[in-house]
Amino acid sequence: MCAPFIVAAHLEQKLSIRKTAEIFAVSKSLVQKLVKQQKIEGNLQPKPRGKPRYSYLNNASTELREIVAAHSDATLVELCELFAQKTGNWVGRTAMCSALQKLGLNLKKKQLVVAKQAQKES
């Protein structure tokens, strides 16, 4: 489908919307939508799909680094809770995991594993 050709055929050749839709084998509503978009926005670029994604973790690298430094053996859920306490904004485990990976913060709990092994041996 070539949107510019559809709009040009309608506007320049003064074809009706129904006739333009027939010629290009598209729906009448598509032609209406394209003509309206051309008039209002001045272009026929596709619209972005989906909702914009926003996370409270986008600009919180310093807070995350402070939390992880203070609580190096915390789980993802605990880090989410600590972040909520510090900033007042709750985030999910998946978002927290992604943010920590982007910052290159290690999630391995070596200290916790060593401490548990020491308790078992005692």
Residue 122 pLDDT? 60
pLDDT at residue 50 greater than cutoff 90: no
**Could you give the C-alpha distances from 71 to 6, 26, 43, in angstroms and in order?**
60, 59, 52
Computed over every residue of the chain, the mean pLDDT equals 84
pLDDT tens digit string along 68-92?
889 888 888 999 999 999 989 999 9
User: What is the pTM assigned to this prediction?
Assistant: 0.50
Name which of 29-33, 37-41, 43-47, 62-66 the model is least confident about: 43-47
Does the structural domain 3-41 have CATH classification 1.10.150?
no
End-to-end Cα, the chain, rounded Å: 73
pLDDT tens digit string along 1-34?
688 889 988 888 888 999 999 999 999 999 999 9
Q: Where are the domains of the chain?
A: 3-41, 51-106
